[in-house]
Amino acid sequence: MDAVQDTDIDLRVLILAPTAKDAQITASILRESGVPCHVCKHISEISAEIGKGAGAAIITEEYLLSDRSNALGNILAQQPAWSDFPFLLLTPAREPSEAARRRMDLLQHMTLIRRPVQVIELLSAIRAALRDRTRQYQVRDHLAERDRQAEELVRERDRAEEANKAKSDFLANMSHEIRTPMNAIYGLSQILGASKPLTAKQEQYINTLQTSANSLLALINDLLDISKIEASSVELERIPFNLAQLVNDVTSIISVQAKLKQLRVVIEGNLDYSSVYVGDPTRLRQVLTNLCSNAVKFTEKGGITITVNEGNADRRGMRRVTLAVRDTGIGVTKEQVDTIFHKFVQADNSITRKYGGSGLGLAISKRLIEIMGGTIAVDSVPGEGSTFTVTLPLQPGTEEDGRHAPLALTSRKNAAPAQGRILLVEDNFPNVLVAGTFLEQFGYSFDVASNGHHALEQLQNQYYDAVLMDVQMPRMNGWDTTRAIRAEEQEKNRHRMPVIGMTAHALSGDRERCLEAGMDDYICKPFDAQELRAKLKLLIPDKTGLDSLN
Ligand code: ADP
């Protein structure tokens, strides 16, 4: 009876017999053996006693048969899930009748004791039933404890969420409040900077004022972002954008810093120059800018390579785009890799002193990319460099979207002296950057057309001195485009436009194929800058007169 004594519940045995005498005899046997019991006068008492913690019940078969209103059945049906109240049924020695069998089924957890009752057998069955009931109460207590803990956890989660929301709201409000006067400081310092004359000292003060205002503004923007992300109130835009344009914008921004540190910035990959996607370009630009400016910040020599790859469309029509930013900088250790994406975490304490920053950029980038359905990962070797890779499913835009996300990539307006204007027909974004950079260096201005159709349209609207034509392009290739240009010239009696083909093949027969399509010359990729310059010079008359001076 150890288990029974362990429990704080009064595990009494209920006795329900047709006659008071029978009940008393059974009760005295139990009491003599130290088993607490209670004689019930009526079935309704059973229900109340079970509620108070009774351990088992002894009833006689006669009683079971006399329970016509099925009161016992109703009591048992109301048991909670953990409860299976044990019964000991005293039956006559003969086989039970059919009616008795059906009533027995009702009791579910039942031990049959045949009369005349053997006291040892009865006591052993009672003890087994009480042990079983004890275990049921233990299960009940476990379940109650588990429910209590689950409720406590929910309460704690709610409290934490509330606190977090209050903190995020506070951050958002404060950031807004600080931004307003900061805008005034920033704007006025710009106005002040533009007002002349300024002494060298004044200019230096204003520059410092602007740099400080800028970094404060950047920090506030980051705080605002992280609080929005934590309050789950980031709403992503869904607008068409040109990915090459976005990469180019970011590259232009970081190139200034990179140049100051004499770092190379290279773009690689298979990005189609005319690829239009529908998504949130502002957020994606923010992430890429963060990765690129970190790359510049943490690199002292070498350079930064941005690799953009467009995967094939999946079943839903989404393309998996990978943007990798590789640098040759200080790198991070394996242990730091696990933490640098947490907010306010920098690889080590010396970072703030040496490089500044808040440790928020990567946390924001990670959350933004995850909200967009992508991932961000880092691969790094300390002292050699890091590669941060963003993988993102992006929905390709339609032709109509393409018209809403036009390309604005041309040579910089102030870099267009009178050497001439070139139409660069090229669909591959890295190649555009390479050829475009060369053209600018030679002093040509240029526009870009991403395919043959686009080139023909541009030629109608704008004067060019020559066309630099990639031969392999989607929709309309370079050879067909050149044929179309020549046909148009003939039809409209126009002067002949110099066309230089760009091929990646370098095979014999390439030259013939280009010339046969109507091109004036061709150049193999990767091309040598001086070779390109020489070919252009041959075809475009010098307008500056500088040649004769060189
Ligand atoms: P911040 O640059 O403002 O410190 P980030 O969240 O952008 O914050 O970066 C967190 C930390 O990760 C940086 O402080 C730095 O220690 C590490 N880190 C990020 N990018 C690079 C990188 N390209 N090379 C080396 N360490 C990096």
263 C-beta closer than 6 A to ligand 1: no
CA of 379 to the centre of ligand 1 (A): 13
| Secondary element (H or E) of residue 481 | helix 478-492
What is the C-alpha to C-alpha distance for residues 397 and 276, in angstroms, rounded to an integer?
A: 5
Cα 356 to ligand 1 centre (Å) = 10
Would you give per-residue pLDDT tens digits along the chain (550 residues)? 333 344 455 789 999 887 888 889 889 999 999 999 999 988 888 888 888 889 999 998 888 888 877 888 888 888 888 999 999 998 888 888 888 888 888 778 889 898 888 899 999 999 999 999 999 999 999 999 999 999 999 999 999 988 877 877 787 777 777 777 777 787 788 788 878 788 888 888 888 888 788 778 777 878 777 777 776 777 888 888 989 888 888 887 788 788 888 898 888 888 777 788 999 998 899 899 999 999 999 999 999 999 999 988 888 889 999 999 999 999 999 988 888 888 776 766 666 656 666 778 899 999 999 999 999 999 999 999 999 999 999 999 887 776 666 555 555 444 444 578 899 998 877 778 778 888 888 888 888 888 899 899 889 888 899 999 998 887 789 999 999 999 999 998 888 999 999 887 655 577 788 899 999 998 887 777 888 888 998 888 765 444 433 3
- Residue 291 Cβ inside 6 Å of ligand 1? The answer reads no
Q: How many helices (H) and strands (E) does the chain have?
A: 20, 17
Ligand 1 proximity of 332 Cβ (cutoff 6 Å):
yes
Ligand 1 pocket, residue 223 CB under 6 Å: no
Given a contact cutoff of 8 angstroms between Cβ atoms, the answer to whether 71 and 44 are in contact is yes
C-alpha closest to that of 362 among 330, 336, 328: 336
C-alpha 285 – ligand 1 centre gap (Å): 17
CA 204 to ligand 1 center in whole angstroms:
29
- Quick check: CB of 298 below 6 Å from ligand 1? yes
Probe residue for ligand 1, chosen from 294, 335, 354 as the CB with the greatest number of ligand atoms within 8 Å: 294
243 lines ligand 1 (CB under 6 A): no
Contact (CB, 8 A) for 264 and 254: no
Whether the CB of 346 sits within 6 Å of ligand 1: yes
Q: Give just the sign of the alpha carbon dihedral 257, 260, 263, 267.
A: positive
Other C-beta atoms closer than 10 Å to the C-beta of 266 total 14
**How remote is the CA of residue 82 from the centroid of ligand 1, in Å?**
55
DSSP 528: P
Contact status, residue 197 vs residue 142, Cβ threshold 8 Å: no
Nearest CA residue ID for atom 11, ligand 1: 346
Q: How many CB atoms are closer than 10 A to CB 343?
A: 18
What distance in angstroms lies between residue 338's CA and the mean position of ligand 1's atoms? 12
Atom of ligand 1 minimally distant from the CA of 329: 24
The pTM for the full model equals: 0.56
In this structure, which residue's CA is closest to atom 3 in ligand 1?
A: 357
The residue to which tokens 């890429």 are assigned: 288
DSSP 176: H
Q: E-assigned strands of 433-515?
A: 445-449, 466-470, 499-503
